[in-house]
Structures are given as C-alpha cells and as structure tokens.
A and B are shown apart, each in its own frame.
Chain A
C-alpha cells in the first residue's frame, strides 16, 4: 500500500491520526523507517545520530523494561543505554544539554508528576515542554504505552521522536528501529561518535 502520509515533527494538531491508520507500515527485520518510509537500518542509524547531534536537548527516555534489572538481557541494555547517553554528552557542544529521563511508571500520577526528573506516558508533553526537549528516543517502553506517548508528542510538541523498539517498531515515531538489542544501541552510539563534528550544532535563539 502506498501512502503520501509522512510522520513528521509536530505539533500536528490536538489528536493526530495513528500513523498506521494513514498507511504507514512497520519495517521488516534488518530495516527501519524514517518518517514512515521503510529504509535500510544503517540509514536510520545515521539519521538518528544526526538528530541527537543537532538537537538542543537530545534526550533518552528509558522505560521499565530497561530501568529494572529483570534479567541479564535487560541489565545489558541498560548498560548500553548509559553508554549511548554518555557518548551523546561527550559529542555535543556545551550549548547542548543531553538528558536521560526515566519513565518508571505507566500509571497516571495525580496530582502531578515532576517533569524535571521523570516522564509519564499519559502526558509526555509536560516533560518535553518543561525541559525544552527537541529530540528524544524511547527505549524499553512497552509498545502500547510508547504508541500512546509518541502520538501525544507528535500532536502537541515540536519534539523529534526516535523509537528503539525491541519488537517490530513504531509507526508513530519519526525514526523507528526494531529488534533492539544492547549491540544495536551501542551501534547507534558508534554512529554518534563517528558523526561528531560533522553536524552543525543548533543555533542559539
């Protein structure tokens, strides 16, 4: 099925359509997608790395699947995520602020969450607005919660979204990987390192 729809930075509008309903399909193993277009995984790696390097506040949002040491695989991914974060921090200029903000809980928090230190899938826009996050990557978030969040972010913010999914990927992210492993996360860190200095940092407002 061909489609004209592109999954682009928002704010699209209050309730954007689910990208899947607009004809966006998930990549096959070895592939990824950029703005809804199926591409080779390496191509998406480069785009994701460039996004991190050109963002004012490049941020990783690790979810419960990697925040908790459920098993060795999960702990290994957590180590790789930390490595990616440290790499981004090293590779950006002092005017850029890399962040690592957890999504420890999916339950809506009343009366409010603390957007400085956490993100909640039911209102991810609060954390994004508060920290002025312009590029983020979801990793270790259960699919249904990631889908919900990605759509809210696309609907109401300017943030560029990347999904490092352990399953089949996310149509609603601007860049989506599938079958995430610790190695794949480290590979993305290598791309960031490789492209250091070749990407123009964001201009001050």
Chain B
C-alpha cells in the first residue's frame, strides 16, 4: 500500500504533465495518517475542477479525498450530476455508473475486489448526489444496505437537481421553490438518515461540510466501519449556491446557518453497538500512537 505501485517510467518522467509528476512525488498515498491538514502542503488528489466558483461541493470533495484512509486501495463509484464533472480530475480509481445505479455497481465491485485481492483491504466509496441516491437510485441504495454490503455511501445533498437547472428532489425541503419547481415542494424532506439506520447501516451521519476536521472524522469512521462491519451512510449538505440564489462567497455561511441545532443539518449521528466497539478500539490505538509520538519527540528535544 504505497507509492511503490505508482511509478512513472524514468525515461518518460520529463514529458509527463506536471500534475502527474506531483502526484507521484508529493501526494500522500501510503500515509495512513493523512488528513485534511495535508491540504496546501502536499499534492491534493483533486486540484483543478470544473465546478462553479465557491461551490461547497468542491470543498467537500477536497476534504473527502484528503481523508480517505488508503486512496491507492480505494475505488470510488460516482453517478450522474455535478460530481461526474470532477471525477475525471481525481487521483483515485473511480467508476461512473448509470444514473442511480451506483450502489448496485459498488456491491459487485466490492465483492469482486475481495475475490481478486484476498487479504488486501480494498475500500469502495459511493459518492452521488441526492437525485441519484434518494430518487432515481433509491432501490439500489436500500437493497445494498439490506444486503449488508461493506462499503460507504456518501450523498452530496444539495436538496435539488442542480446540474440540470433546479428540479425538485426527494431531499428538497418542504415549501422550497426552485427554478424548475415553481409550485414549491408539497411534502417533507425524505428522512434518509433514519431510513439508513433502519435499513441496517452501522454508521450514519447527517451534517454539513463547513468543518474540515469533522468531515475527516466522519469519513474515516464510515470507511473503517464499512471495512469491518457493514454499510455506512453519510449525508453531507453541499448547497448549490446558484440554485438557492447565493453568491460564490456565501456557501460556507449557508452551511453554518443550516447546521444550527434546530435546523435540518444539525449534526446527527447513529452508530451501532458493533461499530461503537470498533471505533472505540481505533480511537484507543490512535491515542496510543500519538502518546508514543509525543514521547519520541520529547526524547529528541
């Protein structure tokens, strides 16, 4: 699990575009303690993207890719939407599925990887919008959870179909009027986190991406639980600033406003007993590692 598997042929190094040279020399592949704090000091697995200026989804993408525990052994499955404009630029294996089909693809992929690479940990992470997760792909989403497939599902919830101009989605809040949904939503936002819990997900979180350290924590937890126990689900609020009438610099504030205790993206977490046990164990190990490191540094001083 390291950069040893990602080497440019020496005779071709000088002709490779700079971003590929950087990926090999300065990315954090193989570093099991990688995290959002590496952003700015190492090569990110996403740098250029074609999302709108100030798009919270691009922030979420950066934090998530910085937080994957083992990007060199991770395959992400995307679906139709703004995310599919970003995947061509990321330094992680990924598959674009048919709209809504992402959890079915991920199920087969995870099983195939277990057979093909026995004894090696391979993470599968689904990353799709709310339309793909809750409307068009709800069947595939739920069935994967019922079957206890061992992968993480992340939903970028922007509460409408943003990529196609603002149609109503199941995760849109009640009463919201969108550009192509002029009557306003007449029923409540689908409670997918609760449905996920009842469908067998072992780790479920509903939050915004305003705090990178929180995103890192939930991503790592979700992936570790999915590896060992079963399905996990993260619903992350990534508002579409264009479709809700905000300016480029207002995305962060929008998320902060929406995560207040009484708001729909107040931090909500469900952890099964099995997952609690695992996460406690992992936290203890991490604490031990940090204490040892501290001791070592003190010894050096």
Contact = CB atoms under 8 A, between A and B. Distances in A.
Interface of A: 62, 66-69, 74-75, 78-79, 81-82, 100-102, 104-105, 107-111, 114, 117-118
B29 to A, nearest CB: 14
Contacts of A66: 9, 12
A78 B12 contact: yes
Q: Which of A69, A102, A117 has the most CB of B within 10 A?
A: A69
B77 to A, nearest CB: 15
A114 B50 CA distance: 15
Interface stretch (B14-22, B176-184, B209-217): B14-22
Contacts of A111: 50
B98 interface: no
Given A108-B88, A109-B89, A110-B85, A100 B15 contact: yes
B contact patch SS: helix
B293 interface: no
A102 B50 contact: no
A117 B19 CA distance: 12
B11 interface: yes
B9 A75 contact: yes
Do most interface residues of chain A lie in helix, strand or loop, or is the interface mixed? Answer: loop
A69 B85 CA distance: 29
Given A69-B7, A110-B50, A62 B88 contact: no
B9 to A, nearest CB: 3
A79 B17 contact: no
Nearest to A122: B88
B277 to A, nearest CB: 40
Interface in B1-35: 6-12, 15-17, 20
A102 B9 contact: no
